[in-house]
Amino acid sequence: MAALPNVLEYPFGVLREGAAFPYKGRWHSEVFGNNNPIILELGCGRGEYTVGLGRLYPDKNFIGIDIKGNRMWTGATTAHREGLDNVRFLRTHIEMLTEFFAHEEVAEIWITFPDPQMKKVRKRLTSVRFLQMYKSILDTDSGVLHLKSDSPFLYTFTKALAEHNGLTIIEDIQDIHNNVPEDSVLRMIRTYYESQWVNRGLTINYLALRLDNLSEASTDPDIEIEHDSYRSYGRQRRSEINLL
């Protein structure tokens, strides 16, 4: 991974000792060499969405973030081979975003098909805990958070959280593959696993939010949400019914 010029890895030990990440606040000037908007994809996996967005929008900068380098290698290799100078990958934990990005340095954040963490609210990438972190690095006036998910549970939770805390819902689209045009960015880029889920009849939902009204007093909604049935099977059972 480290051999690829479009991948950044930084030893956590150095951060723990108080040294700052060298490109924090300098991504535009030192990494991309332009002032184009910076868009993050969190939990980018194989990097398909990061690379796809980079192809579609050469006037924007994209950074795929994941802790698992073996997944990220596919996207990083593809971007390097295609000469996508507006695409980078950062190997780190999402919980450490503020160590790598300065206040208002990021224009948009995409969260694509995250684990819904149905049993642990604090681990959900759209919980208040994480949203407050995102807000600290997003542009105050125009920053947008995108969620694209196959999980009805996470979609319902995130929408309820937005309504509970008075967040602005820019877009709310259920079953995007039947309700948006084929030339929409929501359908033009399809990950490997998204294709599998759609072929099995699962619906993909989308939310776009602004976090301007989020505050230290914001809380996660205290509601009961039906769990995703297709995630309730054990690994062996999911394999037997072709859900892996």
Whether the Cβ atoms of residue 168 and residue 213 lie closer than 8 Å to each other: yes
Task: Judge whether 23 is annotated as a binding position.
Answer: no
Please name which of 168, 21, 163, 45 lies closest in space to residue 105, comparing C-alpha atoms: 21
Find out whether 115 is annotated in a ligand binding site: yes
Residues 6+ apart with CB under 8 A from 11: none
Q: Is 211 exposed, middle or buried (0-12, 13-18, 19+ CB in 10 A)?
A: buried
Tokens of 14: 């150095």
Tokens describing residue 208 = 């776009």
From residue 204, give the alpha-carbon distance in Å to each of 28, 103, 151, 170. Answer: 33, 32, 8, 17
Question: Catalytic: 115?
Answer: yes
Q: How far apart are CA 76 and CA 207, in angstroms?
A: 27
Asked whether residue 123 is marked as a ligand-binding residue, the answer is: no
What distance in Å separates the CA atoms of residue 189 and residue 139, rounded to the nearest whole number? 25
The upper half-sphere exposure of residue 3, i.e. CA atoms within 13 Å in the direction of its Cβ, equals 2
66 is an annotated ligand-binding site residue: yes
Q: Is 175 annotated as a binding residue?
A: no
**Residue 75 to residues 62, 70, 84, 89, 153, Cα–Cα distance (Å):** 12, 10, 11, 8, 28
Find the catalytic residue in 59, 85, 115, 222: 115
Look up residue 7 and give its two tokens: 């991948």
Tokens standing for residue 173? 């689209």
Active-site residues, by number, are 115
Residue ranges for the binding site for substrate? 119, 150, 191-194
Residue ranges for the binding site? 41, 66, 115, 119, 150, 191-194
